[in-house]
Structure 1
Amino acid sequence: MSVFVDIAPDEPQVGSSAPVAPAGKWRGRLTRAALPLLSVVVFFIVWQLVAASGIWNQTFVPYPSTVWQAFIDVSTTHDGVRGYAGYLLWEHLYMTLRRVLVGVVIGVVLGVLLGLVMGSVSWVRSVLEPWLTFLRALPPLAYFFLLVIWLGIDEAPKITLLALAALPPAAVATTAAVVAAPVGLQEAARALGASRTEVIRDVVVPSALPETFTGIRLAVGMAYSSVVAAELFNGIPGIGGLVKDASNYNNTPVVLVGIFAIGISGLVIDGLLRAIERRAVPWRGKI
C-alpha cells in the first residue's frame, strides 16, 4: 500500500536550500533604528514635562524650545550680533574638533607605539605601567594648570592636555592586545624562519588591531571629555570655551547647546571610527 503525503508548495521544507525571506531581517533593522529614535522622543517629552512642571526655575531647566532658539541665535547673525562672542556655532565646533584631532593623533600614535614596546618587552612594561596607571587616574584639571604655567595660555597646553588624555587608553589597550597575541602562531612563524620583526608585523600587529581600535575609541572619548577643561583659558572660539563662558552668566540654554554639540559630534566621530574598524579589521570576532 502506498502512502502519499501532500505538502503545500508554498511552505518551506526543513533542510531545503530555498532562500529565506528577508522580512525578518528588515524588521530587525527597523527595530534597531526605531529604538534610539523612540528614546530621543521620550527624552524630549520628559524634558518638556519637567520644564512645564515649574519645580525648577527656567534658569536651571529651560524649555526645549528655549534651547532651540539659543541654537538658532548661536548659529546665525541676529540684531547685529554674530553667533556667540563673535563666532558662529560651526566655528566654535571647528576649533574644538581641530584641537581634538591634533591632540588625539599625537596621543594615539605615541600610545600605540608605546603599547607595542611594552607588550613586546616585559621589563619596559614593568617600568612604565605604573606611570601610565598614575596618568590615567589623574583628572585633567589636576595637571592642566601646571601645563598653563609651563606652556602659556595659547594652543600648546590645550593640545598637550588632549594628547595626555588620549595616550593612556591607547597604550593600555595595545599593550594588553600584544601580550594576548596567540603564542602558537608566533612560535609557528618563528619555526618557519620569520624574524622577530616579521613576527611582530605579520602576527602580533594583526592580532592586536581589534583591541587597539577599541583603545583608540576610548582615547577619543577621553579627549572629548577633557575638551571643556582644555578650553578653560583662551578657549574661544571653541565649544568648551563657549560652555564655560555661558556658564559664567548662568546662560543655561547656550550651555546645553554646547553640550549637545559635543555629544552629537562625538557620536558621529565614534560612528566613523566603527566604520573604519569594520574595514580595517574585517576578521574581528571571526578567529
Structure 2
Amino acid sequence: MSAVGMAVKAGAAAGAGSAARKRFAEALRWTALRALALAALLAGWQLVVQLELWPRALVPSPGEVWHQFVLASTVHDGVRGYSGHLLGEHLAASLRRIAQGTGWAVLFGTALGLAIGTLRPVAVVLEPAVTFLRTLPPLAYLSLLVIWFGIDESPKVWLLLIAALPPVAAATAAAVRGVPGDLLEAARALGAGRWSLLGGVVLPAALPEILTGVRIAVGVAYTSVVAAETINGVPGIGGMIRDAQRYNQTAVVLAGIITIGLSGIVLDGLLKAVERLAVPWRGRA
C-alpha cells in the first residue's frame, strides 16, 4: 500500500473513532440528564411526604413503594409475592394478554386498513365503524364481553383486541391512501397486476406508518390492561392493582403502575428497534 493510501486509511479510522467518541459523550450527557430528572422527581416526592401535605395512606414515600415492590417480587414469611404470585408472574400474565390482543389486532387491523384504503365501498361502510370503536372507552364494553364470554381469558383478550384494532386500521388506511400516485402508475406501466402492486409497492410504501400504528396500538393495549383485568384478573398486573385498590394499599398500586410504565418503555424501545430494522429507509426517502 502506498504512503498516500495508508494516510487516507489512518485518517478515516481517526475520523470514525472521533465520531464514536462524540456519540458516546452525547449518550452519556442524555443519560445524566435523565438521571438528574429522576432524582429531582424522587426528591420532590419525598418532600411532599415529609411535609405531610396528604395522609401517608394516600401518598406513601418512595421507600415504602420500593419495599412493596420487593415484597411483591419475593417470597417472604411463607407468602409468595402478592396474591400468591410474584410481581414478574403478574407482569408476564398481562404481557401475554397484551400480546394476544394486539397480535390479533395487528392481523385484522392491517387487513381492514388495506381494504378501507383501496376499496371505496368498504371505506364507506366500515370506516365509520372503526371511528366508532376508537371513541369507545374499554370499560364501556367490558360488561358486555363478560356476558358474552364469561370471566376467563376470552373477554380480556377481546377487550384488548377491540381497543388496539382501530389505531392499526386507521394508520394502515391513511398510509395506503398516501402512497404517491406516480409510484403506482410507474408500477402499472411495468406490468404490475393488482396483487403484485399491493404486495410489491403499496405495502412497502405504507409499512412505516403501519408500524407507527402498531406502536400506538400497543400503547392503547397497555392503557387498557387494568380495565381488562378488572374481572378475575389475578395473576395480572392490572388485577394486582385493582385488588390492592380495594384494600387501600396505595404503595402496592404505585408499584404496579410503575411496573407497567417501565415495561412499556422497554417494549416501545424494542418496537422502535424493529421499526429501524424493518424500514431503514424511513426519513431518508
Same fold, TM-score > 0.5, yes or no: yes
1:84-123 paired onto structure 2 within 5 Å = 84-123=82-121
Shift of 1:167: 0.3
Letter of the structure 2 residue corresponding to residue 264 of structure 1: L
Shift of 1:33: 2.2
Q: Which string of whole-angstrom CA distances, capped at 9 and with x for unpartnered residues, describes residues 236-272 of structure 1?
A: 0000000000000110010011101111111111010
Aligned residue in 1 for 2:46: 48
Shift of 1:19: 3.5
Q: Which string of whole-angstrom CA distances, capped at 9 and with x for unpartnered residues, describes residues 95-139 of structure 1?
A: 111111111101111001111111111221121111111100000
Shift of 1:36: 2.1
Partner Cα separation in structure 2 for residue 34 and residue 209 of structure 1: 35
Partner Cα separation in structure 2 for residue 19 and residue 269 of structure 1: 34
1:140-179 paired onto structure 2 within 5 Å = 140-179=138-177
Report the count of equivalent residues: 272
More helix by share: 2
Aligned residue in 2 for 1:192: 190
Aligned residue in 1 for 2:5: none
Letter of the structure 2 residue corresponding to residue 252 of structure 1: T
Aligned residue in 2 for 1:4: none
Task: State which structure, 1 or 2, has the greater radius of gyration over its C-alpha atoms.
Answer: 1
Shift of 1:26: 3.2
Partner Cα separation in structure 2 for residue 177 and residue 218 of structure 1: 15
* Structure 2 residues not aligned, in runs of 5+: 1-10
Shift of 1:279: 0.3
Letter of the structure 1 residue corresponding to residue 283 of structure 2: G
Letter of the structure 1 residue corresponding to residue 113 of structure 2: G
Partner Cα separation in structure 2 for residue 261 and residue 24 of structure 1: 33
2:227 is the counterpart of 1:229: yes
After TM superposition, the score normalised by the length of structure 2 is 0.92
Identity fraction in percent: 54
Letter of the structure 1 residue corresponding to residue 260 of structure 2: I
After TM superposition, the score normalised by the length of structure 1 is 0.92
Shift of 1:78: 1.0
Shift of 1:41: 1.4
Aligned residue in 1 for 2:238: 240
